[in-house]
Amino acid sequence: MEIYIDGKFYPKAEAKISVFDHGLLYGDGIFEGIRVYKNCIYKLDEHLERLEYSAKGIALNLPWSRSEIAEATIDACRRNNVKNGYIRLVVTRGEGDLGLSPRNCPTPTLIIIADKIKLYPEEFYTIGMKLITVPTRRVNPAALPPMVKSLNYLNNILAKIEALQHGYHECLLLNDQGYVAECSGDNLFLVHRGKLLTPPSSAGALVGITRQAVIEIAVALQLPVVEANLTRYDVFNADEAFLTGSAAEIVPVVELDGRVIGSGSPGPVTAQCLKAYREKVTHDGTLIT
């Protein structure tokens, strides 16, 4: 495997950054997780646009054009023969000193890893996943905007630890008002009385690329989509539920905190969305040529 770092490719064992990089020292940076399906980098342009927005959100100047990052990403897939897989694209504040100030980091670092990923067992996609609500609350949007996909993932990691300690693969996070925010690494959707419901970014939900793709699919299916503050009660009483994410794709959820959701099996709307999503991913993006 070869890893791209600042214009060069290095063997995996030699791919290194400075211990003074502020991405390592302070989590000061941004990233994107991007899927590849049959030589198609799914929604690459949308991911790079979000990367630019995240950079602006943390006052990080990107010295590369979108096309330059896109070409480096395509090259990483070519070199690693990734035709179906996952790309982790990272931009750190760069090397600095032991102070917090970003002014001491003159040049950001760009890292691109093209590899494979598998988050959940295959049976979760056919029989559904069970969730638990964890004590850790979502960081308030006023403290860190959820639109920024930053390297500071400790909030999510603490939630994941709590889920694993109780025997669950995934969990639900509430915000400080008690409303549903998202899962530890994915967005959440509910189906209730013919509508698709999902928390807004103001509740602490990331504006996910797969989330937006599902909203577009729902519109095409003439299924009304509503962004609304949701509670655990709403999840308990939903007809269906599923989570979405670039790595996870679309995973049906059949139980929360011991309460069965709907029939207790993946529902028809979830199946429709997953079918439509898998039809889109092989052509809605940038081909590796």
HEC secondary structure over 185-218 = CCEEEEEECCEEEECCHHHCCCCCHHHHHHHHHH
List 83, 118, 130, 149, catalytic entry: 149
Bridge partners, 192 (sequence order): 195
Average pLDDT for residues 229-255, to the nearest whole number? 97
Residue 289 reports pLDDT greater than 90: no
Residue 117 reports pLDDT greater than 90: no
Task: Please give the pLDDT value at position 237.
Answer: 98
How many percent of the chain have pLDDT more than 70? 100
pTM above 0.75, yes or no: yes
Structure tokens at 178: 């008690």
Task: Please give the pLDDT value at position 183.
Answer: 97
Q: Are 132 and 257 in contact (CB under 8 A)?
A: yes
pLDDT digit string (tens) for 124-160?
999 999 999 999 999 999 999 999 999 999 999 999 9
Bridge partners, 33 (sequence order): 88
The CATH number assigned to the domain with range 2-115 reads 3.30.470.10
Q: For CATH 3.30.470.10, list the domain ranges present in the chain.
A: 2-115
Q: Are 151 and 28 in contact (CB under 8 A)?
A: yes
The Cα–Cα gap between 77 and 87 comes to 8
Tell me the pLDDT band of 119, cut-offs 50, 70 and 90.
confident
pLDDT digit string (tens) for 154-198?
999 999 999 999 999 999 999 999 999 999 999 999 999 999 999
Q: For CATH 3.20.10.10, list the domain ranges present in the chain.
A: 123-280
The Cα–Cα gap between 137 and 158 comes to 10
Q: pLDDT: is 119 or 286 the higher one?
A: 286
Q: Phi-psi region for residue 170, left (φ > 0), alpha (ψ -120 to 50) or beta? A: beta
Q: How many CB atoms lie within 10 A of CB 107?
A: 12
Domain 123-280 falls in which CATH fold?
Answer: D-amino Acid Aminotransferase; Chain A, domain 2 (3.20.10)
What number of CA atoms fall less than 13 Å from residue 62's CA on the CB side? 24
Task: Please give the pLDDT value at position 197.
Answer: 98
Task: Please give the pLDDT value at position 288.
Answer: 94
149 flagged as catalytic: yes
